[in-house]
Amino acid sequence: MAGSVPALLIGLLALSLAACDPVATFEPYSVKHPLNLERVLGRRVTLLGPDTLALAISFDPATRQNLIVSSDSSRQPLSVWATRYRGLYYLTQSTQHDSVYLVHAVRISSSQVQGLYHDYNQLTKLAEAVNDGQYQDLISFQDNKKEVLRLRYHAKTLRPFYEAVLDSLPVYRVQAGARSTSKTPVPAAGPIQSVYPNPARQQTTRSARPGRTPWNCLP
């Protein structure tokens, strides 16, 4: 019996790590006028906050997507289209077959960044808001049994939500002298389908909650 206790504890820990809260997803949409984040953050930047993020950023003119790679290998790369609306940046990620999009907001100034790696937090809070009766007119599909929620993206309607949730997230300070626009090669990442397997629930550490990303929490 004594030997089974460690095994039981390990099993409970594995279950707790695998548990996911529902996340809000979006119907695919045309991302208009995607921005080059190299011009916003630089090709290399270091952010200081609860942890240190040394980031390399590259922009693909063909796809208009930005690839954000952290020197911390536990954080998966972000491959995103970036747009801006009323002072906030919105990062849109697509799934392997473009079946759904994920959208989270980032607040960027010359000295501070908020929300960059908090996509999971934002999308779980958005799902909670919808389940509480907000944004009902944006619902495209919902199945509570399977915890599936798809919305239509509308920047104007959702801006108050994103602004409020950003206020609750930690602030990262841009390290002085650590922002670079030099054309140093950015580490390559594989295709997005290999970076974010869907619907595989593998454990990674990109979100503020260890081991959880929106991708491994999709049904």
219 cis-preceded (ω within 30 degrees of 0): no
| Three-state secondary-structure class, residue 129 | helix
Q: Is residue 130 part of a domain?
A: yes
Residue 9 inside a domain? The answer is: no
Integer Cα distance of 4 and 60 in angstroms: 52
* Cα 26 to Cα 6: distance, rounded to the nearest angstrom: 41
Task: Name the residue range of residue 170's domain.
Answer: 19-217
- Number of domains comprising the chain: 1
User: How many other CB atoms are there within 10 angstroms of residue 171's CB atom?
Assistant: 16
Please check whether residue 192 lies inside any domain of the structure: yes
* 5 is a domain residue: no
Tokens of 78: 């972000």
CA atoms of 94 and 30, how far apart (whole Å): 11
What per-residue string of b and e applies to 72-92 under the rule 16 or more CB within 10 Å gives b? Answer: eeebbbbbbbbbeeeebbbbb
State how far the alpha carbon of 57 is from the alpha carbons of 36, 140, 190, in Å: 10, 33, 15
The two tokens of residue 27 are 């119907």
Q: Is residue 198 in a domain? A: yes
Check: CB of residue 135 under 8 Å from CB of residue 129. yes
Residues 8-65: pLDDT tens digits?
444 443 433 345 778 999 999 999 999 999 999 999 999 999 999 999 999 999 999 9
Is 100 part of any domain?
yes
Contact 175, 169 (CB under 8 A): no
Question: Does 10 reside within a domain?
Answer: no
pTM for the structure as a whole = 0.78
Length of the chain: 219
Per-residue model confidence as pLDDT tens digits over 63-94:
999 999 999 888 889 999 999 999 999 999 99
CA 151 – CA 51 distance, rounded (Å): 32
Rounded (5°) CA angle 97-123-110: 100
Q: What is the pLDDT of residue 20?
A: 74
Residue 187 lies in a domain: yes
CA distance linking residue 91 with residue 94, whole number of Å: 10
Q: What are phi and psi of 95, to 5 degrees?
A: -80, 175
State yes or no: pLDDT of 191 exceeds 90. no
195 has a pLDDT exceeding 90: no
- Tell me the pLDDT tens digit for each residue of 125-147: 999 999 999 999 999 999 987 78
Give the span between the Cα atoms of 154 and 29, in whole angstroms: 10
